[in-house]
Amino acid sequence: MGRLNGKIALVTGAGTGIGRACMVMFAKEGATVFGVSRTQSNLDESLRLTQAAGGQGSVFSADLSQPEQVEAAINQCVATYGRIDILLNAAGVGYNLRETSEGSMDPVHSTPIDKWREVMALNLDSVFYVSRLVIRQMKTQAKGAIVNVASIFGLGGAPDAHTYTATKGAIINLTRSMSVAYVDDNIRCNVVAPGFVATQMVESVIPMLFSAENPKLISPMGRPATPDEVAYACLYLASDEASYCTGSVLTVDGGSTARA
């Protein structure tokens, strides 16, 4: 306990899944958390869980694919807490989007142009919009830690969801570039690349991928990760324990990328 004592942590995608797990875990470890997501009711539940765990923080509803809403969220965080020590970018969409946005998780040849732009805006543009403003704040503080959540599909290809895989690969290389560009500002930038995680984002495909007949099809461990298992990796990279880590990509995938 206390690995983030005194830190102010801004967590995007805080309404569900990995973002929610990070918000609660970071607060339990002593950070004051500022959670941002699109859906207020989800944020309210994340804040309730945070406070029930003994943590402190607040939430702000914003669509992070819209630059003006990003600016409002960052301004509110700085106005409330005076600084941002940690940025955890977990906002984004995945396989569940295909249920409400046909074609969004298709291969290239069947992906409509507007769906390409939609997923790019939600998964990649949002990371850029948030990071550019938070980095400006961190430069004035001469210190900060940024952790971006990508995916193992940013490290290798997938048979579909090509826009999704493109965004995750871009997040990884953007983070590496940021780590070099801002090292002299004492800002560390790292990536966590999960495999399949038991969240709403992939709940529709989990039974197929981890079937009773072939549970190790995707992961040698034979199961998806829990959100907390990914949050622990994010916690490490956000903490001062990772003071010599920048530009790193930490996979949390049950051994999926270890196989040839």
Tens digit of each residue's pLDDT (9 = 90 or more) over 179-190 = 999 999 999 999
Sheet (strand 8-12) strand order:
56-61, 32-37, 8-12, 86-89, 144-149, 187-194, 249-252
Which positions ≥6 away from 83 have C-beta within 8 Å? 8, 137, 141
Is 244 one of the catalytic residues?
A: no
Query: What is the domain range of residue 154?
Result: 8-253
In a domain, 2, yes or no: no
Point out the catalytic residue in the list 81, 129, 164, 182: 164
- Per-residue pLDDT averaged across 43-50, rounded? 98
In a domain, 97, yes or no: yes
Specify the pLDDT at position 95. 87
In a domain, 249, yes or no: yes
Query: 97 phi and psi, to 5 degrees?
Result: -65, -25
Q: Answer yes or no: are the C-beta atoms of 167 and 174 closer than 8 Å.
A: no
Specify the pLDDT at position 235. 98
Which positions ≥6 away from 54 have C-beta within 8 Å? 27, 28
Specify the pLDDT at position 217. 82
Give the number of domains in the chain: 1
In a domain, 193, yes or no: yes
Split at pLDDT 50, 70, 90, the class of 206 is confident
CATH of the domain at 23: 3.40.50.720
In a domain, 236, yes or no: yes
In a domain, 3, yes or no: no
Residue 129 CA, chain-centre distance (Å), reads 14
Per-residue pLDDT of 64-83, as tens digits, reads 999 999 999 999 999 999 99
pLDDT at 25 over 90: yes
| Closest-CA residue to 140 (of 189, 77, 83, 88) | 83
In a domain, 63, yes or no: yes
Per-residue pLDDT of 98-144, as tens digits, reads 999 999 999 999 999 999 999 999 999 999 999 999 999 999 999 99
Give DSSP secondary structure letters for the chain.
Answer: --TTTT-EEEEETTTSHHHHHHHHHHHHTT-EEEEEES-HHHHHHHHHHHHHTT-EEEEEE--TTSHHHHHHHHHHHHHHHS---EEEE-----GGGGGTSTTTTS-GGG--HHHHHHHHIIIIIHHHHHHHHHHHHHHHHT-EEEEEE--GGGTS--SS-HHHHHHHHHHHHHHHHHHHHTGGGTEEEEEEEE--BSSTTTTTTHHHHT-SS-TTSS-TTSSPBPHHHHHHHHHHHHSGGGTT--S-EEEESTTGGG--
Per-residue pLDDT of 153-186, as tens digits, reads 999 999 999 999 999 999 999 999 999 999 999 9
pLDDT at 260 over 70: no
- Per-residue pLDDT averaged across 245-260, rounded? 94
In a domain, 258, yes or no: no
Specify the pLDDT at position 174. 98
